[in-house]
Structure 1
C-alpha cells in the first residue's frame, strides 16, 4: 500500500516513514505542509497527516484532507492530533466518515494498534480515538439517553465507535461475543438506533448520534 505522510515535525515525520516502511507499506512521500501533500496525492492509496501544519498551525491538515477527498472521493485519510480536539473531529466527519480516522499522536507508539487503524481506514472503515469518543459522550445533556447506558455499555459503545467488530470487542473486554452482542442490542435500543449489524455503518450511526445534540428517533444503518 502506498502512503503519503504530511507532518511538519521532522522527527515524527521521519519516524512515521520508518515505522510504516518496516511494516510493509510503501511511503511515496513524506512532506511538511498541506500543499506538498496535495501535489503528491495521485501517487498514494492513503494518507497520514497532522491536523495542524504551516502556515497558521490551525486546521491545514483538515482542509487538505477535505480537498483530497473532493479530488478523489473516498480517499482514505488517517488524521493525527497532539490533543483531543473533538471540534476538529466533528469537522472531519461532517462530509462522511467512510475511510477516515482521527487519532491522538501518542497512539503511534502502540505500533500494532496504529498499523491496524491505518489498515482499517484504508479498507474504508472509520477509526476514532477513544479519548475523543469519551469527550463526546461526556458532553451529552443529563436527560440524554446516553446517560442511561450502564458503565459496560458505555465501554462497548466507545469500542464500537473506534470501529472494532464484536469479536475484537469481546477479546478487549474478556467477555464472550454473545455478551457483546447483547450489550450492543441494549445500546441501540436505548439510543433509538436500528440494530442492523452491518460493519462500519453502525459506527457511523453511533458517531452521528454522539455528534447530534438532537438526534432523530431512528438512524438507518
Structure 2
C-alpha cells in the first residue's frame, strides 16, 4: 500500500510515517500543508491519504477541503482524516455519498498503534471508520435504545458483527437482532441488492433517514457484514 501523509506537526507526521513503514506500507510523500498534499497525490497517486483536517495557513478546514477535492478527482483513493476536535459536520461533508474508503479519527483517542494500523488497512480495503465520539454527538434522542446506540457506535468504528458481539459479551445473534431493529428505525427495509450497513452510514452522515427519529448526523461502516 502506498500512502501520502499531510500533517503540519513534523514530529507527528514522521511518527506516522515510521509506524506505517514498519508495518509494510510505503510512504510516498510527506507534507505539512494542503497544497502540498494535492501536489503529492497528483505526482505519486497513492492508494491512501492521511491528512489533518486543519492545516496552514488558516488552520480551519484546509485539509478537509483538500480531501474533498481529491475524493472527487480520484474516486478510488482512500482517505483517513485526523482531527483534534469533534467536527460532525465536517465528517458528514467528507463522507457524503461515499462512506467507503473513508476514516475520521480524533488524534487524542488513538490510544493503540496496532488499532490505528488496522483502521488504515480497513479503510484502504474499502471500509469506513468514524470515531465513536463523532457518532455519539448525534445519537442522543435518536429513538434508538441505549444498547442500539452502543451497537451503532461500535459499527461506526468498523467492527464486524462478531467483533461487536465479543466487545459487548453477547451472542452474534443478539447483535443481528439489534442491527435489524436499528435498520427498521432508520427506515432501511430488507434488501438483498444493497448493503444496508453502508446505506445506514449514508443516512446517518447525511441526516436524510426516512424515519423522523433519525437525527441529523451519522455513523459509518465497512462494506463487510
Using the size of structure 1 for normalisation, the TM-score is 0.87
Q: Please state whether the residue corresponding to 2:4 is helix, strand or coil.
A: strand
Mapped pair 1:205 → 2:205:
no
Indicate how the Cα distance of structure 1 residues 213 and 36 shifts in structure 2: closer, same or farther if over 3 A, else same: closer
CA contact (8 A) 2:186 2:209 kept: no
Does 2:146 match 1:151? yes
Alignment partner of 2:163 out of 158, 168, 192 = 168
Deviation at 1:207, TM superposition (A): 2.9
Counterparts of 1:97 and 1:190, CA distance in 2: 20
Q: Give structure 1 stretches of 5+ with no counterpart.
A: 141-145
Identify which of structures 1 and 2 has the higher relative contact order when contacts are C-alpha pairs closer than 8 Å and 6+ apart: 2
The alignment's C-alpha RMSD in Å is: 2.3
How far has the Cα of 1:49 moved from its partner?
Answer: 0.4
2:214 alignment partner in structure 1: none
Q: Does 1:67 align with 2:69?
A: yes
Instruction: Show CA shifts across 1:23-50 (max 9, x none).
Output: 1111111110111111111421101000
Q: Does 1:29 align with 2:17?
A: no
SS in 2 for 1:96: coil
1:197, distance to aligned residue in structure 2 (A): 7.8
Q: What displacement does 1:104 show?
A: 0.4
**Which ranges of structure 2 fall in alignment gaps of 5 or more residues?**
212-222
1:40 counterpart SS class = helix
1:121 is matched with which residue?
Answer: 123
What is the count of residue pairs matched by the alignment? 211
- CA change 1:192–1:80 in 2 (3 A) is same
* Partner residue, 2:215: none
Partner of 1:6: 6
TM-score, length-normalised on structure 2?
0.85
CA 1:68 to 1:213, structure 2 compared with 1: closer, same or farther past 3 Å? closer
Decide whether the 8 Å contact of 2:148 with 2:182 is kept in 1.
yes
2:93 equivalent to 1:91: yes
